[in-house]
Structure 1
Amino acid sequence: MSTRADEGMAAGFSLQLVMTGGLVMPAGILHHITSMKERRVRDDDIFVCTYPKSDSRDFAGIVLTDTYINSVTHRTSLRTGTHWVWEMLNMAVAGEPEYAKHWQNCSFYESRTEDELDTLPSPRIIFTHLTPDLLPQDIWNRKCRVVNVQRNPKDAVVSFFVQHTNQNWVDKSRDPAFVGSWDNYVDAHIKGNVPFDSVMEHSLRWNRFPQEHPDVPFLQVQFEDLKKDAVREVQRLAEFINRPLSGDVYEQIADACSFSKLKYASENIKDQTFHNRWREGSSGYFRKGETGDWKNWFTVAQSERFDVVYQQLYNHPFPY
C-alpha cells in the first residue's frame, strides 16, 4: 500500500520522501530527525519555527552526507518571514542594526549537526521547519523562547512551488526538486504529500502549541503584520526576548531588514559559505517580498478546494 510520501513522488517530486511522525519528510534529513529528541539544549536558546516555503534545499532525492548539506543546502526565502524574523532577532540581541555574519542556515536545526550548533554563541537563535512533536522535549522543559512565523498559506504554496522548481544543484544535470505541473503541485499540497507536509497541517500543530505547553514563552508572528508595520513587530520580538530597545533603534532595525537592504546585505555583505546556486534567470531567495501573489496562480477551482479543506481542518472559513 502506497504512503503519502510515495504519492508525493508520483505527483512529480524528484527527491525521495519518507513518512515520519505521521508527516511527509525529505529522506535526506531523516538521520537528523531520528536523533533530534536527544539533542542538547541551552536555557537561553531562541527557536524560530516556520513552515518551509523553499524546501528543494532539503534534498534532491539522495541520501545526503553532512558535508553535502554544509556545502549546498539552501535557506528559506526572505518572503517567507523566516529570514526576516531571524535577522531581526539577531539585531535585537546585538542591540543595534548590524547584520549577522552568516546566512541563517548556520543555525538551521535539522540540517546542522549538534557539534556545529554547539559552536554558535549564546543566545543561539535557531530556526527549524519541524513541528513541535518532532523537536526535543528539553526545549519545553527548559522553557526556551519560541517564535512561530506564519503567513497566508496560499502564498506559502506558491513560494514553495517556485523554489522547488527553480533550485539549481551542484550537479547541473540533476532535475529540480519538483518536475510536475502546478496543478499536480496544488493537489499534492492539499493532500499533504509534500516535504514537511501541508502548510495547513503544519500551522495547525503550531496553533495548538500554547494550549499544549502553556508554560513555554511563545510568540506568533504573521508575515502580513511584518509587511504592515515592521517597527511594531521588531519591538514585539525584542520585548519577547527581554531585550527592549529605544524607539529609534526599532526603526533602524526595521529599515535595515527591509526587503531591498536585506537582499543586498545577504548577497554582498554576509559570508557566502551557505549561499546556494539557482537556475539561470531565477530570482533566488529574494523573489518579491509581497503578499497576495497566490491570486496570480490559483484557479478559482483550486482556491475553492483549498478553502474547503482549510475549513474542515480549522473549523472556520479561510480568513485571507
Structure 2
Amino acid sequence: MGGAADETDQSGTKEKGNDGYEIRMKPYEGFNYPYEFTDDIAGHLRNIRDMEIKDDDVFITSYPKSGTHWIYEIVYMLLHDRSYCRQHHLLDIDNIDDINNAPSPRIIMTHIPIDRLPWQLSQGRAKVIYMTRNPKDVIVSYFCFVKRLAKTAFDGEFNYAFLEKFLYGKVPYDSWFRSVLSWERFPQTNPKVPFLTMNYEDMKSNLRQQVERVSLFLGQTIDGDTLDTITDKCSFVQTQKDKRENPDSRFNSTMSRDGPEIIYRKGEVGDWKNWFTVADNEKFDQIYKEKMSQSKLSFRFSL
C-alpha cells in the first residue's frame, strides 16, 4: 500500500521523498492514518466499524481534497434551516460518542476506506454521497494542505517528492486510485444503499443544478427561490468567506501551523497547470492510464 518506510519510530512512519523531506503518518494494518488524528487507531477504527447507523443518516465520502467540506455545507443547508454548519462531523477524528449522540439527521463526513466503515452501512439504512474531483487538482490541493499541517510537517517540494509519493499511495489515506475504484464498485456490490456520486467540476460549472440534484436525492421539496438562496450561500467564494470568519475550532495551532482556516484554498479547476511540469504530466498520464484502464469514471481537468 504505502511501501516500506525509510524510518519508523513510536511517533509514526516517516516517508522521505527524493529531496529528503518527510511525510509523518501512523500506519495501521496497511493503512496510512493521518498523524494529526487519534492515537488509539485500532480502537477508533473498531468503534467506527461497530457504529449504529440511523435511517436518516447521510454519509459524505471521498478521497481528501475532493470538495468534501463544500458538499457537506450544501447538505447541511438543505437539512438544517439554510444555515452554515459550525463544526462538521468528521468520522476520522471525532469521538465516536459525540457522533452517536448527535441530533438527527446526522451528516457524517469521512475519507476512511470502504472496508473500515460501519458494517451496517451496507444494509441500506443511510444515504451515501460520494464526492469526486479530477486527481491532478487533488494532488496540488493535498500537497498544499499537508504542508500546512503542524505534526505531519512536510516541507518537501511538489515536483521532487510529493507527486511521486501520491502516485504510489505513500501519503495519508494511501492510494487515490484504490479509493476511487473501490467507490466506483460500491453501488454494484451494495445495491440496497441509496447512493449519489457528485463531482467537483460539475459543481463549479453549474452549482444550482447540483444543489437541486442533492435536494432530490435527500427527498427535499425545495422551491426555486430557496434553491437560489442556498446556491448563492454555498458558492465556493461565499463558503470560503464564512469559514475564514468562523473557523472550525479543531483546526488550531496543534493541528495547523498556518492559521485556523486550512480547508478552503483556491477552489479552481485546472490549477494543476501551475504546478505540473511537462515531465510530471507525462508521468501522471501514463500511470493514470494504467491504473484506470478498467474504470468508467471520467474527469475534466479544465473547464
Q: In which range does the TM-score fall when normalised by the shorter chain?
A: 0.7 to 0.9
Hey, what does 2:83 align to over in structure 1?
98
| 1:295 Cα deviation after fit | 0.8
Counterpart position of 1:39:
51
Structure with the greater relative contact order (CA < 8 A, sep ≥ 6): 1 or 2?
Answer: 1
Q: Residue 99 of structure 2 corresponds to which residue in structure 1? A: 117
Shift of 1:316: 6.3
3-state DSSP of counterpart to 1:4: coil
Q: 1:264 aligns with which of 213, 231, 241?
A: 241
Correspondent of 1:178 among 128, 133, 154: 154
Paired residue for 1:314? Answer: 292
CA distance in 2, matches of 1:82, 1:44: 19
Whole-Å separation in 2 of the counterparts to 1:298 and 1:131: 28
Alpha-carbon distance change, 92 to 300 in structure 1, aligned in 2, over 3 angstroms: same
Contact 1:4-1:24 within 8 A present in 2 as well: no
SS of alignment partner, residue 18 of structure 1: strand
Query: Does the CA-based 8 Å contact 2:49-2:118 persist in structure 1?
Result: yes
Amino acid across the alignment from 1:97: R
Q: TM-score, normalised by structure 2?
A: 0.84
Q: Which has the higher helix share?
A: 1
CA distance in 2, matches of 1:207, 1:113: 29
1:210-221 to structure 2, matched below 5 A, reads 210-221=187-198
Aligned residues: 281
Contact 1:46 1:123 survives alignment (8 Å):
yes
The alpha carbon displacement at 1:262 in A equals 1.4
C-alpha separation in 1, matches of 2:207 and 2:123: 31
The 1:26/1:262 distance shift into structure 2, 3 A limit, reads closer
Give the letter for the 2:113 counterpart. Answer: T
Give the drift of 1:259.
2.2
The aligned amino acid for 1:99 is Y
Q: Percent identical across equivalent pairs?
A: 33
Post-superposition offset of 1:152:
0.6
Residues 280 and 108 of structure 1, relative CA distance in 2, 3 Å threshold: closer
CA contact (8 A) 2:247 2:261 kept: no
Q: Which amino acid aligns with 1:92?
A: L
Give 2:205's match in structure 1, choosing from 217, 222, 228: 228
The AA in structure 1 aligned to 2:212 is Q
Aligned equivalent of 1:64? none
Q: Which amino acid aligns with 1:86?
A: Y
Whether the 8 Å CA contact 2:187–2:195 is kept in 1: the answer is yes
Q: 1:10 aligns with which of 3, 9, 16?
A: 16
Structure 1, unpaired ranges of 5+: 54-79
The aligned counterpart of 1:205 is 182
**Other-structure match for 1:130:** 112
Please give the root-mean-square deviation of Cα atoms over the aligned residues, in Å.
2.4
Q: CA deviation at 1:3?
A: 5.9
